[in-house]
Amino acid sequence: MSTGFTSSLTFAGKQTIIYLGSITLIAGIVGGFLDIVVFLSLKTFRRSPCGFYLSVMSISNIGQMITGLLSRILTTGFNIDWTLTSLFYCKFRLYCYQVCSLISMTCICLASIDQYFATCSRPRVQQWSNINLARRLSAIFTVIWIIHNAPFLIYYDHIVSLTTGKVTCIITNNVFDQYTTYSITVTLGKVLPIGITLLFGFLAYRNVQQITYRTLPMVRRELDKQLTVMVLVQIVFGFFTITPYTIIYILLKVPQLSQDPTNAACLQYATALTTCMLYIYFAVSVF
C-alpha cells in the first residue's frame, strides 16, 4: 500500500514538473520579453523609476527560467543533466540562477519603495523617486550580487561516488552549504524581500488612497496609480507563491522528516508542486 502510494506521488511529481513546468517556462520567457518591450518602448514607463526596476526584474526572471526551470525539466523529464557532464555548467548554472533570483527580488523591493516615494505627499520624499537613482541602485545591487555569489563558482564541484561511480554536482563546503540554505535562499531570497515589499506596498497603497485629494497632473496621478497597482498585484501574488516553497524548502533540510519513505515521497511531491508555483511567480507578467 505504502509502496504504491509512494510510486504514485513520485510519478505525479514528475508529471507536474514536465507539464506544468513546460507551460510556465514558455509563458515566462514570452511574457518576460513582452514586459521588456512594453517598458522600454513606452515613454511613460521608460522615464519611470518603477518601470525601470520592473524591466530589470523581467530580464532577471528570464534568466531564472533558463538556468533554473529549463534545467529541472530536462533533468526530471528526459534524464538530461548537463551539470553531470560539464564542470563549467555545474558551477555556472546555480551561480547564474542565484544572481538572477536576488536581482529580481531586489528590483521588486526597490519598485515598492519607489512607489512609496512617488506617491508620498511630501515633496522632499518624492525627490527620492528619480530615474538616475534607479539606474545607480540597479547597477550597484547587480554588482553586489555578482560578487556575493562568487563562492558558487568555487565550492560547486563534481564528486564521484566510491561505491557507484556516479558523478554528482554538489557543494563541497559545509559552511557555505548552510549559508546558502538559510542566508541566501531563505533570508535574502525569500523572507526579507517579502517583508520589505509587504511593508512598502501597504504604505504606497495608503498614499494612493489619498492621491485624489492632492493637486497633481492627471497623467501623473493615473501613472502612479497604475504602477502601484502593478507592484501590489506582484507583491500579493508573490506572497502566496513564494511562501509555500520556502516552507517546504526548510522542511527538506530536516533529516528526520525524510527517513520515512512515505514522508519523503510527500515532501518530494510538495517540492515539485511548490517549485512550479515559485516559477509561476517569476513567469507571470506584471501586467
Q: Using one digit for the tens of pLDDT, what is the confidence trace for 147-161?
A: 999 999 999 999 988
What pLDDT does residue 2 have? Answer: 65
Cell of 59: 530580464
98, 146 Cβ separation under 8 angstroms = no
Give the best-scoring range by mean pLDDT among 77-81, 144-148, 179-183: 144-148
For residue 76, the tally of other CB atoms under 10 A from its CB is 19
DSSP letter assigned to residue 76: H
What pLDDT does residue 165 have? Answer: 80
Instruction: Between 34 and 226, name the one with better pLDDT.
Output: 34
61, 32 Cβ separation under 8 angstroms = yes
Domain 1-283 has CATH 1.20.120.530: no
Amino acid at residue number 196: I
CA distances to 16, 182, 229 from 22, in Å? 9, 29, 29
Examine the pLDDT at 1 and tell me if it is beyond 50: no
pTM value is: 0.90
Q: Rounded to whole angstroms, how far apart are CA atoms 182 and 84?
A: 25
* pLDDT tens-place string over residues 36-83: 888 888 777 778 888 899 899 999 999 999 999 999 999 988 888 898
Spans of all domains in the chain: 1-283
Amino acid at residue number 184: I
Instruction: Between 260 and 198, name the one with better pLDDT.
Output: 198
What pLDDT does residue 217 have? Answer: 53
